[in-house]
């Protein structure tokens, strides 16, 4: 098969022929239709993930058709169109049995614990636990984005922070996952305020129904907080930090009204300092979100099927596998100007 491979962290990835994967006993191999180019692929390539063994093939948000099935798989057949959460659970441990496969200690992650979906074929483990059937009518790009960005944002907002219709939602950082959170907030009836330093990212936010956009370039923290307070005189109930920077995490927490809930989605490569006195005195809560187990996807799929949520509207570029190495390097260099990119493999 053809795949995007890197031999060293930060060394130029290249498209080359490699051996086809075989399905594990309870796993499948999927022929990839489309896979998303996600910021965590860039973190992996930069060497921020110690689970990655070299050489490596990135890619963890995908849709495709089953190409081969392991002997222990019961619920799926060759030809089925499926997606998968980027955290694949074991289905047997205490966390999995409690419905929390997204924090399974035995988890596998395509594109991290083994080769991923920037490839014609990808192996996925524990298929009966993790595969999610995808309707034929759903756009391949939209389906791919459900594997990571939309699932992480949906679980964070709905299952962790309990966002309700009519609440004010602040989104700090309008990259792919931030815009996914904003789009879900709009679909759920929240009034969404978005902050970024990039005018094109804010224009995208406005185009998907965000009520207030705030360009924070050149503004200090107090000035940005004042702008947020103007946009939300009754306060912000839920905030999302989608960049993974100490300054924006702090801004996101300080903008919250008393009893506010923060969803932390941006990834950190070092440990940030928190404004803990404020968290205590205002009884703020801080929620991590690490994807969503396959068993919880029906609500998200219903929202997409109803037309209220259109992940495909976030896609700005559809590229081929040959263009993926350069796109991954550009993303890792901090280029946020290009919007969401998906790779159409088949």
Q: What residue ranges bind Zn ion (CB under 5 A)?
A: 38, 40, 89-90, 93, 96, 104, 106, 148
Tell me whether residue 40 or residue 239 sits nearer to Zn ion (CB atom).
40
Residue 273 DSSP symbol: P
Structure tokens at 183: 């789009």
Return the closest-CA partner of residue 169 out of 144, 205, 206, 194: 194
Structure tokens at 92: 């047997």
Tell me whether residue 35 or residue 237 sits nearer to Zn ion (CB atom).
35
Beta strands 121-124 and 62-69, pairing class:
unpaired
> C-beta of 122: minimal distance to Zn ion in Å?
14
Tell me whether residue 104 or residue 256 sits nearer to Zn ion (CB atom).
104
Return the closest-CA partner of residue 194 out of 211, 177, 207, 180: 211
> C-beta of 38: minimal distance to Zn ion in Å?
3
Angstrom distance (rounded) from CA 191 to CA 193 = 7
Tell me whether residue 89 or residue 254 sits nearer to Zn ion (CB atom).
89
> C-beta of 261: minimal distance to Zn ion in Å?
23
Structure tokens at 177: 């996952």
Tell me whether residue 6 or residue 150 sits nearer to Zn ion (CB atom).
150
> C-beta of 15: minimal distance to Zn ion in Å?
21
> C-beta of 28: minimal distance to Zn ion in Å?
18
> C-beta of 232: minimal distance to Zn ion in Å?
29
Structure tokens at 14: 């290249």
Angstrom distance (rounded) from CA 204 to CA 73 = 42
Tell me whether residue 32 or residue 214 sits nearer to Zn ion (CB atom).
32
Greatest Cα-to-Cα distance within the chain, rounded to the nearest angstrom: 60
Partners of 133 in beta bridges: 82
Who's near 281: CB < 8 A, 6+ residues apart?
none
């Amino acid at each position: 098969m053809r795949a995007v491979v890197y031999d060293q962290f930060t060394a130029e990835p290249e498209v080359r022929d490699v051996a086809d994967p075989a399905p594990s006993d309870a796993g499948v191999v999927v022929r990839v239709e489309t896979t998303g180019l996600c910021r965590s692929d860039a973190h992996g390539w930069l060497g921020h993930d110690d689970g990655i063994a070299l050489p490596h093939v990135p890619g963890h948000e995908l849709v495709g058709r089953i190409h081969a099935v392991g002997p222990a798989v019961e619920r799926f057949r060759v030809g089925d169109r499926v997606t998968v959460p980027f955290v694949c659970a074991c289905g047997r441990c205490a966390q999995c049995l409690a419905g929390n496969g997204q924090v399974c200690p035995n988890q596998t992650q395509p594109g991290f614990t083994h080769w991923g979906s920037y490839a014609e074929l990808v192996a996925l483990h524990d298929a009966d636990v993790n595969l999610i059937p995808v309707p034929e009518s759903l756009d391949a790009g939209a389906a791919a984005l459900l594997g990571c960005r939309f699932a992480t944002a949906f679980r964070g907002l709905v299952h962790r922070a309990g966002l309700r219709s009519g609440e004010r939602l602040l989104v700090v950082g309008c990259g792919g996952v931030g815009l996914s959170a904003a789009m879900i907030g709009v679909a759920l009836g929240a009034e969404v305020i978005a902050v970024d330093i990039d005018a094109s990212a804010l224009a995208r936010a406005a185009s998907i129904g965000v009520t207030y956009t705030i360009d924070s370039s050149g503004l200090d923290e107090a000035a940005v907080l004042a702008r947020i307070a103007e946009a939300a005189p009754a306060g912000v109930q839920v905030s999302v930090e989608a960049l993974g920077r100490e300054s924006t995490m702090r801004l996101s927490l300080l903008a919250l009204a008393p009893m506010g809930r923060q969803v932390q989605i941006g990834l950190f490569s070092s440990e940030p300092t928190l404004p803990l006195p404020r968290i205590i005195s205002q009884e703020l809560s801080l929620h991590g979100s690490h994807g969503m187990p396959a068993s919880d996807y029906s609500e998200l799929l219903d929202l997409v099927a109803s037309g209220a949520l259109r992940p495909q509207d976030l896609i700005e570029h559809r590229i081929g596998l040959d263009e993926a190495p350069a796109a991954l390097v550009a993303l890792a260099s901090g280029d946020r100007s290009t919007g969401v990119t998906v790779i159409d493999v088949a």
